[in-house]
Amino acid sequence: MKFKDVVGQEDLKKKIIYLIQQGKMPHAVMLLGTDGSGGLPMALAMAQYIQCTNKTDVDSCGECPSCAMLSKMQHPDVHFSFPTAKLNPTKIPVSNDYIIEFREFMLANPYGSEKDWLDHLETDKQGNITALECREIIQKLQLRTFMSEYKVFIMWRPEYLGSEGNILLKFIEEPTAKTILIFVATQLEKVLLTIQSRTQLFNLSKLKLAEIQEALLQQQVEPSKALQIANLADGNYHYALQLINEQDDDMLGYLKQLLNGIYANKGLEIVAFVNQMAAENKETQKKFITYFVHLLENLVRYRQVGKAHVSMLEAEYKILDTLIAKKMTDYQVDKVTALLEECIYQIERNANAKILFHSLSLQIQQQLLFKKALA
């Protein structure tokens, strides 16, 4: 993967390129970013840049033999380690057992999550990076390089290393010469402290709306859909890619229906909304709630700074204008947001959807219509 194929993260790309060019890349780094911010794509681009024999000041060439091999994740001097599950009851799993599946998965979904990966392995077993795997890593990295000056090792999700990860400590402290270890994590608090303290932290930033929007446009997503997805994705490009393939459901339509029912105090319209929402699957229900929360966040920003810093569809601006005309306060935004977040929590716990959305609608109405005096 080239840096140009990694969405956003321009500052971090510059820093990485500079350090590699100056020969100052620390030998153990931890790329840390939320789900969908692109830790693995960044690690792949970094490995490709290190190994490229014809790199420029801004990127790898994408064409030399090293780049060609890395584009298939098959470079003999770039090693991968990742969570596996015990699919064969008689064998302790190591990454090498699943490298073909891992390549296939990552080449198709470089922004994929570990849940997607375990789904790809068709297991509901817990992922793990085993002690045997740690020993194999050390052995593997003792070998001489095959074709490059540098060895690169990428561990995706060091969160899955239990105390067995301590086997690696000495190696992380004093790796073999010309070896770069890259750990790719999303939850630092779950990574062993002993590993955290031996790696240099490189933070990925949360992707900006415009960055996701631009990446979607490059994927030929239709402009208004790209904008709506970028808004919904909230910095998670992995989620944005999933939304492309989802059936177009009418989040905006649902929201209009709910708000109409609430403000006009039309019980039947609210019931119609509740029935339709209850018939949707959990993912769509959560998507609607997330959409609503995001719209409220935009409302606050829109009121403060105007259109310049909020990108939405015209129809969505109209909703914001209506809410402003109805004098929805920031206090009410906070209260309604809290109700929505509680609702997501309940959906995940399989609460009865009809009861849940009915109660949600009435509580929102309570906040918006009847508690004004308190606000």
Residues that bind Zn ion (CB under 5 A): 52, 54, 60-61, 64, 67
Give whichever of 5 and 297 is closer to Zn ion, judged by the CB atom. Answer: 5
- Evaluate whether 79 touches 153 at the Cβ level (below 8 Å): yes
Give whichever of 60 and 332 is closer to Zn ion, judged by the CB atom. Answer: 60
User: By C-alpha distance, which of 154, 162, 205 is closest to 15?
Assistant: 205
Query: Alpha-carbon distance 356 to 361, whole Å?
Result: 9
Number of alpha helices (DSSP H) and beta strands (DSSP E) in the chain = 17, 5
Q: Give least dist CB 107 to Zn ion, A.
A: 17
Q: Give least dist CB 55 to Zn ion, A.
A: 6
Q: Give least dist CB 72 to Zn ion, A.
A: 13
CB atoms within 10 A of CB 278: 15
For residue 218, what is the DSSP state? H
Q: Give least dist CB 146 to Zn ion, A.
A: 16
Q: Give least dist CB 61 to Zn ion, A.
A: 3
Give whichever of 64 and 132 is closer to Zn ion, judged by the CB atom. Answer: 64
Query: Alpha-carbon distance 81 to 136, whole Å?
Result: 10
Give whichever of 65 and 269 is closer to Zn ion, judged by the CB atom. Answer: 65
Q: Give least dist CB 44 to Zn ion, A.
A: 13
Sign of CA dihedral 336, 242, 260, 296: positive
Helices 251-263 & 223-233 angle (0-180, nearest 10): 70
Q: Give least dist CB 69 to Zn ion, A.
A: 10
Give whichever of 54 and 142 is closer to Zn ion, judged by the CB atom. Answer: 54
Q: Give least dist CB 142 to Zn ion, A.
A: 26
Query: Alpha-carbon distance 102 to 104, whole Å?
Result: 5
Q: First CA to last CA across the chain, in angstroms?
A: 52
Strands 179-185, 151-156: pairing is: parallel
Give whichever of 60 and 179 is closer to Zn ion, judged by the CB atom. Answer: 60
Give whichever of 51 and 365 is closer to Zn ion, judged by the CB atom. Answer: 51
Note every long-range contact of 355-362, with CB atoms under 8 Å and residues 24 or more positions apart, other chains counting.
Answer: 357/273, 357/274, 357/277, 357/278, 357/285, 358/270, 358/271, 358/274, 361/258, 361/261, 361/262, 361/270, 361/273, 361/274, 362/270
Give whichever of 43 and 323 is closer to Zn ion, judged by the CB atom. Answer: 43
CB atoms within 10 A of CB 321: 12
